[in-house]
Amino acid sequence: MNSASALRWWRLALPIADELEESLIWKLTDLGICRIAVQHAPEKAERTLLAWLPSSEWCESDRDQLMVNLRPLADPFGLTLANPTWCEIADQDWSLNWKQHWQPDPVGQRLLILPAWLDLPQEYADRLVVRMDPGSAFGTGSHPSTRLCLEALERNPPLGLRVADLGCGSGVLGFAALGFGARQVLAADTDSHAVCASRANAELNELDLDRLRVVHGSVDALSAQLQGEVVDLLLCNILAPVIEALAPSFEQLLSANGRGLLSGLLVDQAPRLQMVLEALGWRVNCLNEQGCWGLLDVSRR
């Protein structure tokens, strides 16, 4: 490989529906493509997935095969992946370049998700600020399933409550819960990189480690942290089949008067999940929707 070829890149620009964001990021990361950004202006619906690939390693046939691998991810949503735009560009400072695609993102009436390197815009000075470094690609609040949870926390703030965040990813839900008055958040994720991302973002927000504990694992890891105690609110922003698999264990986490905010499911998956939950003794209080995504607010019967 000569130095000239090593200093050039293919930039993929792919218009995407918001339903596909997490699946595409997961797939690209799984394929070893880690230079990723999502271009998204909060006031607009359009999103563009950007990825940078070394030009010397990605010939035309390889790039075509990449799209073949990505297109099936749109099928479960009844969508068709748009045609990509490829542009060959010179070498860039990736530690700075990808950051230009992130902007302050207001959520609901009170919350602002702010990329860590940006100053607080004056027009959002009265909002609750959660600082995030989205470089880990674990989500910063832009996905509809995450926004549904954030907006639910704002509508019914967890004042003085102990909260569990199962599948915490970047940690954004736990940070918001603390901002809205939670007493303590216990967070867990089966992905060790997500655990590291949550802890790093906790430092950005100067959170007391006793108020926010992040562990590697799932329900059992949270139960071990609780040491026989329970939480008042469970946050679970995962995919519907995973929620269904974990649902029998929820009762060991939640108090008798506890509530759960279960997101990450498609609206058409809600009826089956509701049936499963009711069979386990849960009451579904409401289904909140944003586009094709849904959130179930549940409580113990």
One-letter amino acid at 236 equals C
pLDDT above 50 for 4: no
What tens digit of pLDDT does each residue of 39-78 get? 776 556 678 888 888 888 888 999 999 999 999 999 888 8
Q: Which of 95-99, 215-219, 232-236 has the lowest mean pLDDT?
A: 95-99
CATH 3.30.70.120 positions along the chain are 3-99
Residue 213 or 133, more confident: 213
Residue 134 or 18, more confident: 18
The CATH number given to 3-99 is 3.30.70.120
What tens digit of pLDDT does each residue of 151-210 get? 999 999 999 999 999 999 889 999 999 999 999 999 999 988 789 889 999 999 999 888
CATH 3.40.50.150 positions along the chain are 105-300
Average pLDDT over residues 122-140: 80
Domain 105-300, CATH class in plain words:
alpha beta
Average pLDDT over residues 252-270: 93
Q: Which of 36-40, 84-88, 277-281 has the lowest mean pLDDT?
A: 36-40
